[in-house]
Chain A
Amino acid sequence: MTDLTDLLDRASDLGEPPMPVADDLTRGRAALHRRRRRNGLVALGSMCALGVIAGFGAPAVLDRPAEDSPRVVETPDSELFAANQTEGPYTFGKLPVGWEVQGSYPQGVTIAPVGFPDQEPASFVGKLVIMYDQNPVSGEHREYNGREFYTNTEGDHDSVRVRTRAGEPEGIVSVQYPDSAGWDVETMIEFLDAVEVGQGALPGLG
């Protein structure tokens, strides 16, 4: 005697791989935006400012900023302070003074200065963004604390990438930050080295 539900269950189970949640969000947002534009609810041209993520290989979970936010916001230089803050699957050993976590997703976290004009958590522009992905690493190589870091500069933002530690989900964790923040690369390597990636992290797609 065999139950049909059980047969269907077994036939459909492939032991699912990580799911591209970020892409679903990106498609949904794009489709909603197109619909609103068609309906005249959004002014022509409001699809501006994909921001610093364009062409960057970042997880697509994060989209355009709030429409009234500036393209680039000057932010003060800020030192790191010892923290032990957990946001979803990510734990931060250090955070910049005067900055706060805005958005937390399985694919990453956005951090912005307190009182930052763009309060849209899923926007990258002018913010410090932690991302987890499984894309290849490239860029200028630096070593710190026994790990290999890779730095890149593109447009008005910089990034640092490093392989996750043994015991963390396999992949790359990176930090992307605006030039205007004034941090040097050593500071951001120190910041990224203090980031821990937990088991709930999902890789974004670039």
Chain B
Amino acid sequence: MQILIADDDVVLRHSLRVHLERWDYEVVECADGAAAWQVMREPSPPPMAIMDWNMPGVDGPALCQEVRETPALSGMYIILLTSNASKQDMITGLESGADDYIIKPFDWDELKARLRIGNRIVSLQQALGARVNELQQALSSVRVLTGLLPICAYCKRIRDDKDYWLQIEHYLSVHSDARFSHGICPECLVKHADE
């Protein structure tokens, strides 16, 4: 899975890259918030991101807010990785739209475990999105007749929206996927036997 790293600390960035690649992530690195935002605006942005709080230009929480206000990025899983360790900072960071908050210095095994949670959520969201698309496609191929149909009380023709009176089987075959095979019911057979 692709993951974006946005941190102005070149040492930590390299260390993150090496660890994440060992854990089979595909890493995209950015040294500041503006560069990260540019990557996010590309057609297929990484579905996960690790962001520093304090970066030149756009900081982590501001970037989180931008992401959450952008419908195309609503599923992005964001971890704020910061040395801002107060409870208020953590609340502010999470309220800005981050999914998780890790305080530096951190434990590599803990980061790996938290990334696995993010990976699982993103995978579930992607599977759900794919299923919704399949259902939408299936739904668009199903034609359903609804609404009020004007029908002649005697001959049972139906008036269409162009004011033509159509045989009921013709109307239904145009407005649904139903097909007709003609036969004679027992009552009609008795009634029309002599004709």
Q: Is chain B a partner of chain A in the same complex?
A: no
